[in-house]
Chains A and B, each alone.
Chain A
Amino acid sequence: DIQMTQSPSSLSASVGDRVTITCQASQDISNYLNWYQQKPGKAPKLLIYDASNLETGVPSRFSGSGSGTDFTFTISSLQPEDIATYYCQQYDNLPSFGPGTKVDIK
């Protein structure tokens, strides 16, 4: 089974800051990597699919990059409404999620 790790597990940043989250797969998953945002009490929302493609309707301040085993998710300018937990998810064979990164406003 493919294991996913994320770092950091939590972060606190100021409005307008650039925020970066990394996700690492235990083996090569090509670009089969997606990013989700989850707010408390809500279902996850797809933000980025296939490592770098922005889902329709998602603000352009969100972006993703990477391939193989190492991936990066970036919020270019943190907004108050971005407070949430972010998960990476791989789908090379059977799907699995990373442990999540909780993002707060400083």
Chain B
Amino acid sequence: EVQLVESGGGLVQPGGSLRLSCAASGFTFSSYWMSWVRQAPGKGLEWVANIKQDGSEKYYVDSVKGRFTISRDNAKNSLYLQMNSLRAEDTAVYYCARSGGSCYMYWGQGTLVTVSS
């Protein structure tokens, strides 16, 4: 059974940093692109970043470029999102998702990031 379990969310002050993790199991992690998708409270879904199987390609939504870094450790079956210079508008539930072709077939349960003083 495919499982994606996010962790690392919490309350952080504006300008602060946070590192999210996603532990993957039930599939060959190194064979799939992986993504982070977020959802601000009461709002829609927003793709944040994705990373190729070997980590050689990474892409970001414009609003997080230069502040967020996506990475992965295939030996640990883990995906990460390092978030720096956090802003109030980064407040959201962050989902880890497995890419499959053009779609996201598997999602984690999400981890809440709150940026507030």
A and B assemble together: yes
Residues of A at the B interface (CB closer than 8 Å) are 1, 32, 34, 36, 38, 43-46, 49-50, 55, 85, 87, 89, 91, 94-100
Asked if B77 CB lies within 8 Å of chain A CBs, one says no
Q: Are A32 and B45 in contact (CB under 8 A)?
A: no
A99 vs B42: C-alpha distance in the bound complex, in angstroms? 11
Q: Are B44 and A99 in contact (CB under 8 A)?
A: yes
- Given A50-B101, A89-B103, A94-B59; A43-B109 close (CB under 8 Å): yes
Among all A-B residue pairs, the 7 with the closest Cβ atoms: A91-B102, A43-B107, A34-B103, A49-B103, A97-B45, A95-B47, A100-B44
A99 vs B59: C-alpha distance in the bound complex, in angstroms? 21
Q: Which residues of A contact B44 (CB under 8 A)?
A: 85, 87, 97-100
Asked if B104 CB lies within 8 Å of chain A CBs, one says yes
Q: Which residues of A contact B50 (CB under 8 A)?
A: 94-95
Q: Which residues of A contact B35 (CB under 8 A)?
A: 95
- The 0/1 profile, CB within 8 Å of A marked 1, for residues 78-117 of chain B is 0000000000000000010000011111011110000000
Asked if B54 CB lies within 8 Å of chain A CBs, one says no
A33 vs B47: C-alpha distance in the bound complex, in angstroms? 14
A55 vs B103: C-alpha distance in the bound complex, in angstroms? 11
Chain B residues numbered 37-58 whose CB sits less than 8 Å from any CB in chain A: 44-47, 50
A89 vs B102: C-alpha distance in the bound complex, in angstroms? 9
- Nearest residue (CB) in B for A99 is B44
* A58 shortest CB reach to chain B, Å: 11
Q: Are B107 and A49 in contact (CB under 8 A)?
A: no
Q: Which residues of A contact B101 (CB under 8 A)?
A: 49-50, 91
A32 vs B46: C-alpha distance in the bound complex, in angstroms? 17
Q: Are A44 and B104 in contact (CB under 8 A)?
A: yes
* B71 shortest CB reach to chain A, Å: 18
